[in-house]
Amino acid sequence: MTVDVPPLEQLVVELASDDRNTAEEAQFMLEHYGSEALDPVLEVLPMLNVFSRRCALDLLHDIGDVRAVPVLVGLLESEDEVVRERAGENLGPIGDPSAARALAAALRRAKAAGVPLHWSEPTTYRKALTQLGAREDHLPPTVGELAVERPQLGRAWRVEDLTQVADALAASDQALLYFQIWRWSEHHHPSYYWTESPGWEPQLEGPWPNVVEIARQDALDAVARLKPETAGAWATLEWIGEADR
C-alpha cells in the first residue's frame, strides 16, 4: 500500500504543533524523507516545544547523522530530563568522539543533582560514553561468555544464568544495579516485551567492596523472587565499576 506523504515543509510545520497527535504523526511521516529531513528539523529544533523536541530527537535517532552533533550537544543542557536523555541516546550511536566531553559533563551534572546512578539518565550517558570509547565497559570473561546478542535487546543473558552472572560481576568488583526480564511474544506485533524488573535500591555509599557484595546479595535475592514463568526468558543488565560512582 502506497503512503501519501505530505510535503516536507508542511511536516516540519506540523512537527512544531502544540497538538501532540499532530506532532507525533508529523514525526512518523518525516521518517519517509530520511536524511533529507535533517537540515529543516535541525533548524527548527531549538524553537520547538518540549514534546515536539522529543519527537524530533526520536527522528534524529533514526537518521543518525553526524551533522546533528552540535545541536544534540546543546540539548544535553536542556531543562527537560527526557530531552537531555534522548540527546545522549543519539550521540552514542552517531560515534563522533568530539561529543564525549559534553556527555561526561552531563553525567557529572546528573550526579551533582543527586540523580541515582541506576536511573535512566545517568545510564544513558554511561552507555553513550562507552560507545564513543570514552568509558571502559568492563565485561568479566564469564559474563561475556554467557551473553547473547538478541534482536531488539542487544546484549542479554538467559534468566537461568543470572546467579552465575551476578557472582561473576561481584568477583570482578562490578556492582550490579538492576536487571530487566524480557520475553518474546508473537501476539499482535512480534517482539520482546518487558515482563518485570525485580527491584532493589542500590546501596552505593561506603567502601566499594561492601557496595559490590551488597549488590550481589540484592541481585541473588531478586533472582530467587522471580516468578516461575520467567524460565526461558532473557535479562538485560546494568552494572558499574568504582570509577563510575
CA distances from 154 to 148, 192, 219 (A): 8, 11, 21
Q: Which tens digit of pLDDT belongs to each residue from 130-164? A: 999 999 999 999 999 999 999 889 999 999 999 99
Whether the CB-CB separation of 234 and 131 falls below 8 Å is answered with: no
Q: How many CB atoms lie within 10 A of CB 46?
A: 10
- Grid coordinates representing 222 are 531478586
Would strands 154-158 and 148-150 be described as parallel, antiparallel, or unpaired? antiparallel
The CATH number of 8-131, from 1.10.1060.10, 3.30.200.20, 1.25.10.10, 3.40.50.300, is 1.25.10.10
Task: Kindly calculate the radius of gyration of the chain based on its CA atoms and give it in whole angstroms.
Answer: 20
Which residue from 49, 86, 236 is spatially nearest to 150, judged by alpha carbons?
Answer: 236
Q: Is 114 helix (H, G, I), strand (E, B) or coil?
A: coil
pTM, entire model: 0.91
| 3 vs 154 pLDDT, higher one | 154
Mean pLDDT score, 27-48 = 94
Q: Which tens digit of pLDDT belongs to each residue from 75-122? A: 999 999 999 999 999 999 999 999 999 999 999 999 999 999 999 999
Fold of 141-244: Ribulose 1,5 Bisphosphate Carboxylase/Oxygenase (3.30.190)
CA–CA separation, 73 vs 205, rounded Å?
A: 31
